[in-house]
């Protein structure tokens, strides 16, 4: 009898252990289910996968083979592929050429600026490069400036997001992108005067902004951008038809200038004047002719630095440039296209990451798309592969850290122990990355909540991160 009882006890323990593992793999943790229920979300609105990276005991596969929209977690794929295909020391080149002649300090002819895909070529870089022209003895450019964008195929904004085409996050890729093609206005509340001062830096010739904007009586700083009702029919003379809610602190409002050449024109005029370089020509778009002579090449920051900015702050145009640059490196003789870049990444996913074709489908590399699709299973496989990759340090360190920085800075969940790339679109909230549990074990995590009410709360995904942290 005693032997029977003991054997039964062992059998019961074994059964419970198996049930425990089955529960861990096939059912959402109770805290996650509760979080979904409290926000009127159904369990089938969530897909999730948790995979141990170093021998941990947790595992979860909830609707992990269902194709979902990744939103900005698509950048995880783009950045890892770029690190492996291009290398963390890759740099973009912006080249300055001329035709004509240089005589007595005057460039009599045309200055060509050939963009090489640098996503972070900003006004400070242009100031440096025009100063370099000045130091080379060129005091006057007697001709036009031609911008060569042929490194990339011409990109355009997605009609799906047409309502936000004035927002910098919708900017198309541009091989000769300057300063994100945006204007940033700083709004500083002066509550006693019931107004907010409007300033812009750097100052540019021809840009006229209102001195101030009124403060609204509404205290809550909710949808403050919509409340301002910015009118940029003329992007060089923005107007406000609304007011800033009184409860807002200082805000930066950035908007996208529609025409890239006019943007170059106004900054070329401003900065050439500042560095003492005379120029009164026009900026036009065109190609660098074979007869043009090279003045110099200007090099960007390294790709490792740009990957960190791409993921920490979810920069869409950076991600688009990373994807297109892979195509440009593969076939430098033709303008880089998304279709070519996608083929490169698809092949890498199949051969290196070992995902099944169709499990991860990219669009423009940024996640600003409703055409992209992934499965949670494929994304944790990607994370596990990235964890073993020689490029792991650059990749993982580019993810926002919970309660610390980037898009995870305000999420007080497993503080400092979760490296999570986030994603957000209408009716889509996603997250993927690595969580280090209290035990020291590390786990790959990918989760998406989509459909009605999906973006109202971070709670379901945060509870999943906590489940890993406390139980892994």
Q: 309 near 322, Cβ under 8 Å?
A: no
The reported pLDDT for the residue numbered 201 is: 84
* Nearest one of 388, 375, 399 to 447, comparing CA atoms: 375
Residue 164: Cβ-neighbour burial (10 angstroms; 0-12, 13-18, 19+):
middle
Residues 249 and 197: their CA atoms lie apart, in Å, by 12
CA distance 261 to 153: 16
Report strand pairing: 283-285 vs 145-148: parallel
Specify the pairing of strand 244-245 against strand 60-62.
unpaired
Distances (CA, A) of 92 to 112, 302, 428: 17, 8, 33
**Burial group, residue 249, by CB count within 10 angstroms (0-12, 13-18, 19+):** exposed
**pLDDT recorded at residue 335:** 98
Contacts of 283 (CB under 8 A, 6+ apart): 144, 145, 146, 147, 261, 262, 264, 265, 268
Give the pLDDT of residue 26.
76
Task: Look at residue 354 in the predicted model and tell me its pLDDT.
Answer: 98
Predicted confidence at residue 25, as pLDDT, reads 52
Low-confidence ranges of the chain (pLDDT < 50): 1-24
What does 91-154 look like in DSSP terms, one character per residue? Answer: --EEEEEEEEEEETTEEEEEEEEE----TT--HHHHHHHHHHHHHTT--EEES-EEEE-TTBPP
Report pTM: 0.93
């Amino acid at each position: 009898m005693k032997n029977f009882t003991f054997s039964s006890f062992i059998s019961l323990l074994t059964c419970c252990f198996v049930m425990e593992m089955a529960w861990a793999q096939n059912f959402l943790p109770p805290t996650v289910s509760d979080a979904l229920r409290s926000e009127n979300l159904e369990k089938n609105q969530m897909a999730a996968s948790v995979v141990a990276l170093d021998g941990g005991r947790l595992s979860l596969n909830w609707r992990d083979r269902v194709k979902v929209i990744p939103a900005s977690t698509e950048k995880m794929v783009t950045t890892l592929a770029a690190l492996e295909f291009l290398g963390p020391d890759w740099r973009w080149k912006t080249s300055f050429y001329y035709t004509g002649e240089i005589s007595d300090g005057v460039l009599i002819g045309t200055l060509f600026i050939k963009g090489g895909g640098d996503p972070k070529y900003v006004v400070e870089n242009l100031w440096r490069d025009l100063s370099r022209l000045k130091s080379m003895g060129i005091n006057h450019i007697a001709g036009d400036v031609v911008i060569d964008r042929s490194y990339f195929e011409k990109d355009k904004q997605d009609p799906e997001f047409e309502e936000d085409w004035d927002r910098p996050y919708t900017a198309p890729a541009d091989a000769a992108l300057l300063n994100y093609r945006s204007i940033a206005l700083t709004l500083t509340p002066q509550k006693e005067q019931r107004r907010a001062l409007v300033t812009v830096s750097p100052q540019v010739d021809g840009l006229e902004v209102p001195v101030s904007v009124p403060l609204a009586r509404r205290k809550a700083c909710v949808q403050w951008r919509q409340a301002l009702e910015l009118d940029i029919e003329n992007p060089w003379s923005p107007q406000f038809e609304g007011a800033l809610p009184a409860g807002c602190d200082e805000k930066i409002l950035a908007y996208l200038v529609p025409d890239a050449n006019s943007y170059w024109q106004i900054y070329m005029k401003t900065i050439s004047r500042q560095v003492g370089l005379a120029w009164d020509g026009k900026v036009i778009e065109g190609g660098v002719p074979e007869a043009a002579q090279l003045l110099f090449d200007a090099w960007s920051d390294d790709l490792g630095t740009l990957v960190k900015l791409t993921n920490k702050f979810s920069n869409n145009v950076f991600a688009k440039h990373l994807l297109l640059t892979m195509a440009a490196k593969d076939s430098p003789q033709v303008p880089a296209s998304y279709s070519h870049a996608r083929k490169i990444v698809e092949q890498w996913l199949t051969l290196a990451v070992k995902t099944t074709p169709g499990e991860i489908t990219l669009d423009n590399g940024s996640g600003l798309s409703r055409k992209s699709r992934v499965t949670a299973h494929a994304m944790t496989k990607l994370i596990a592969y990235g964890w073993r990759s020689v490029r792991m340090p650059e990749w993982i360190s580019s993810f926002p850290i919970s309660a610390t920085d980037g898009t995870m800075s305000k999420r007080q969940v497993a503080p400092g122990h979760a490296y999570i790339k986030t994603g957000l679109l209408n009716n889509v909230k996603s997250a993927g990355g690595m969580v280090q549990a209290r035990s020291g074990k590390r786990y790959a995590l990918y989760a998406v909540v989509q459909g009605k009410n999906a973006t109202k709360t971070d709670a379901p995904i945060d509870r999943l991160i906590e489940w890993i942290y406390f139980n892994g």
